[in-house]
């Protein structure tokens, strides 16, 4: 009897686990999609999936036209990733990063796309709105607005809302492209709307909160203005998030909580700098970034800060969130993942590491897109990057270059000497007059360099302090003899071997050996020559000729 009961209990537990897994699968069925600029109509910019770290660079797509300041983030239906660069819309396969199709629009596309079922919706700066078949890129319908469009197309309940620069709102049947209603708003709208149950919130060009009511009737839906409230003085407001009866928006150095019932801001949470881009909302926590690089988690009910993380990198885009992580892109080209619980950095990646010898530096001006398939980021030149968890990275960080920086005869200027990895050849000779710095540039195109994974040693020196610049991928080692009195003396003559160990987030370890020789009988080198150049061009040559050659 006991064994039979035990067997029945096991069957019951297994049955309950299957139900739990089925419910979880259903709950996350849409987690591979990001259909609007901020994913959902309420603007929360959150994906319900939980991603496993580290993430790996899966693929990179480079469009035909290279831009200088690309600001459009992608959308995805789980099969393709769609985004616009210039006048071209690209559909990129999520798995392999290959081009599925491309469509050339009649005018420049200046805002993110939207996905409605099997249609991809786009709007141009000249007022053209059109729908393409998601699988083929074939044109389904077109619509001509009364003026140019700078706000992403907004989808809700089978309707498409198009907002023009002149403040005209077009309500369109998304299936056929037929206009259902036209409303003249008090002024133009500069944010994508955020929808609650029966109203939309929008930010206008004159810094006001516009609340638009939705009325459903036999003929469809009509819209009317319910509130037009000032947001006060400050920088450009961020994208709003609607959670009835509140709207959350960053204005100046504050996170503002607007109460739709009272039609005014009822609470403000101070920030150390100007709120930027778009915030994310996960349950009762707002994640918001500032221009100077701080990221904040704020409890919306109490208004208290849960945590703050200073990335020390300027941010011009916004924040997106998964079930347990917060993703931020910095203007310097860094992609960060923070723990939603305490704000600690759990992963980072520098765009451009996949091509470290390219002198151009990738920047980011658009927020990341987060799905169960991975994270998608567009760079300033229009490239699209895909990161995922299910990838193999067996390559350690790559040695790119090394330079020894020593003083010149001019105490305000320095000379660089390139170093190669240690061989049996005679090492570069330099005088030992301080300060001497060793600059080592590294890259990792897999999981990204882990700043906590560096170690450095040097023969003849008991300690070798170093500092890592994550924006440049440069490790700077301070080569000096410690005196304990804050005064540095010249390095003794002899050969020095520096061994640097680095590690990426996948745990791969790279080791690099660099040699140089100190000869204090050598004079300090002359400063780099200043050559006449055109305005804006480099004025000096930092690299010197080898000593003793």
**Domains along the chain?**
31-388 (2.130.10.10), 398-518 (2.60.40.1220)
pLDDT digit string, tens, across residues 26-77: 334 479 999 999 999 999 999 999 999 999 999 999 998 777 788 999 999 9
Coil, strand or helix: which one is 422? Answer: coil
User: What are 194's strand-pairing partners?
Assistant: 201
Is residue 182 classed exposed, middle or buried when 0-12, 13-18 and 19+ CB atoms within 10 A define those classes?
middle
Tokens 């010197």 map to which residue?
Answer: 544
Bond from prior residue into 245 cis (ω within 30 degrees of 0): yes
Which pLDDT belongs to residue 449? 97
> What is the pTM assigned to this prediction?
0.89
Bond from prior residue into 54 cis (ω within 30 degrees of 0): yes
Between CA 154 and CA 34 the distance in angstroms is 13
Helix (H) or strand (E) holding 11, with range, is helix 2-27
Return phi, psi of residue 279, to 5°.
-95, 170
Is residue 2 classed exposed, middle or buried when 0-12, 13-18 and 19+ CB atoms within 10 A define those classes?
exposed
Mean pLDDT, rounded, for 176-185? 92
Q: How many Cα atoms within 13 Å fall on the side-chain side of residue 241? A: 30
Q: Are the C-beta atoms of residues 296 and 288 closer than 8 Å to each other?
A: yes
Evaluate the CA torsion angle 229, 233, 236, 238 in order and state its sign.
Answer: negative
The radius of gyration computed from the CA coordinates of the chain, to the nearest angstrom, equals: 28
Closest Cα partner for 95 from 293, 324, 374, 345? Answer: 374
DSSP 426-481: PPEEE--PSPEEEEEEEE-SSS-B-GGG-EEEETTBS---EEEETTTTEEEEEE-B
Q: How many Cα atoms within 13 Å fall on the side-chain side of residue 32? A: 12
pLDDT digit string, tens, across residues 71-105: 999 999 999 999 999 999 999 999 999 999 999 99
Between CA 247 and CA 210 the distance in angstroms is 11
pLDDT digit string, tens, across residues 229-259: 999 877 789 999 999 999 999 999 999 999 9
Evaluate the CA torsion angle 138, 140, 142, 143 in order and state its sign.
Answer: negative
pLDDT of residue 15 exceeding 60, the answer is: no
For all residues of the chain together, what is the average pLDDT? 88
Sheet holding 99-104, edge to edge: 75-76, 80-85, 88-93, 99-104
Tokens of 114: 């939207």
Between CA 227 and CA 311 the distance in angstroms is 37
Residue 138: CB atoms within 10 A of its CB come to 11
pLDDT digit string, tens, across residues 270-304: 999 999 999 999 999 999 999 999 999 999 999 99
pLDDT of residue 142 exceeding 50, the answer is: yes
Closest Cα partner for 99 from 67, 140, 56, 63? Answer: 63
Between CA 167 and CA 203 the distance in angstroms is 12
Coil, strand or helix: which one is 14? Answer: helix
Residue 373: which residues within 8 A CB-CB, separation 6 or more?
A: 32, 76, 78, 94, 388
pLDDT digit string, tens, across residues 472-511: 999 999 998 776 666 678 899 999 999 999 999 999 999 9
Which pLDDT belongs to residue 359? 66
Which pLDDT belongs to residue 5? 42
Tokens of 492: 């003794």
Q: Are the C-beta atoms of residues 414 and 438 closer than 8 Å to each other?
A: no
Residue 510: CB atoms within 10 A of its CB come to 18
DSSP 503-523: EBTT--EEEEEEEEEE-TTSP
DSSP state of 67: P
Which pLDDT belongs to residue 29? 41
pLDDT digit string, tens, across residues 440-467: 999 999 999 999 999 999 998 888 999 9
Bridge-based pairing of strands 88-93 and 80-85 is: antiparallel
Q: Which residues of 268-289 are buried (b: 16+ CB within 10 A; e: fewer)?
A: ebebebbbbbbbbbbeebbbbb
């Amino acid at each position: 009897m006991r064994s039979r009961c035990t067997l029945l209990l096991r069957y019951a537990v297994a049955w309950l686990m299957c139900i739990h897994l089925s419910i979880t699968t259903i709950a996350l069925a849409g987690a591979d999609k990001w259909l609007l600029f901020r994913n959902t109509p309420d603007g929360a910019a959150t994906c319900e999936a939980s991603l496993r770290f580290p993430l790996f660079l899966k693929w990179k797509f480079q469009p035909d036209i290279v831009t200088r300041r690309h600001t459009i983030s992608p959308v995805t239906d789980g099969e393709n990733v769609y985004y616009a660069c210039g006048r071209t819309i690209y559909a990129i396969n999520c798995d392999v990063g290959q081009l599925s199709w491309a469509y050339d629009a009649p005018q420049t596309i200046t805002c993110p796309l939207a996905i409605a079922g099997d249609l991809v919706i786009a709007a141009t700066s000249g007022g053209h709105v059109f729908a393409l078949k998601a699988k083929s890129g074939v044109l389904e319908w077109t619509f001509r607005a009364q003026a140019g469009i700078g706000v992403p197309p907004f989808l809700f309940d089978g309707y498409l809302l198009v907002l023009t620069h002149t403040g005209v709102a077009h309500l369109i049947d998304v299936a056929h492209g037929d206009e259902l209603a036209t409303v003249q708003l008090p002024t133009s709208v500069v944010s994508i709307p955020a929808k609650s149950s029966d109203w939309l919130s929008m930010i206008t060009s004159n810094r006001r909160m516009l609340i638009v009511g939705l009325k459903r009737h036999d003929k469809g839906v009509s819209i009317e203005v319910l509130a037009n409230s000032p947001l006060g003085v400050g920088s450009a407001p961020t994208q709003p998030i609607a959670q009835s009866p509140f709207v959350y928006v960053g204005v100046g150095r504050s996170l503002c909580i607007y109460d739709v019932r009272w039609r005014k801001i009822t609470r403000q949470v101070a920030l150390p700098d100007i709120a930027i881009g778009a915030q994310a909302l996960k349950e009762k926590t707002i994640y918001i970034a500032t221009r100077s690089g701080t990221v904040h988690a704020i409890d919306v009910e109490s208004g208290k800060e849960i945590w703050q993380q200073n990335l020390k990198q300027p941010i011009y885009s916004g924040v997106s969130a998964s079930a347990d992580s917060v993703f931020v892109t910095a203007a310097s080209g860094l992609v960060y993942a923070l723990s939603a619980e305490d704000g600690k950095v759990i992963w980072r990646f520098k765009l451009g590491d996949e091509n470290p010898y390219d002198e151009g530096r990738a920047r980011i001006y658009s927020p990341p897109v987060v799905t169960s398939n991975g994270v998608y980021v567009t760079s300033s030149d229009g490239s699209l990057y895909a990161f995922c968890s299910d990838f193999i990275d067996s390559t350690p960080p790559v040695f790119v270059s090394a330079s020894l920086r020593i003083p010149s005869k001019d105490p305000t200027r320095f000379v660089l000497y390139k170093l190669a990895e240690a061989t049996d050849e005679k090492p570069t000779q330099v005088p030992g007059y301080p300060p001497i710095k060793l600059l080592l540039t590294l890259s990792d195109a897999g999981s990204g360099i882990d700043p906590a994974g560096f170690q450095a040693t040097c023969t003849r020196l008991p300690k070798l302090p170093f500092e890592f610049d994550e924006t440049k991928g440069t490790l700077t080692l301070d080569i000096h003899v410690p005196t304990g009195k804050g005064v540095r003396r010249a390095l003794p003559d002899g050969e020095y071997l520096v061994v640097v160990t680095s590690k990426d987030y996948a745990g791969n370890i790279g080791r690099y050996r660099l040699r140089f020789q100190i000869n204090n009988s050598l004079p300090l080198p002359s400063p780099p020559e200043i050559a006449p150049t055109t305005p804006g061009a480099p004025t000096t040559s930092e690299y010197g000729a080898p000593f003793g050659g």
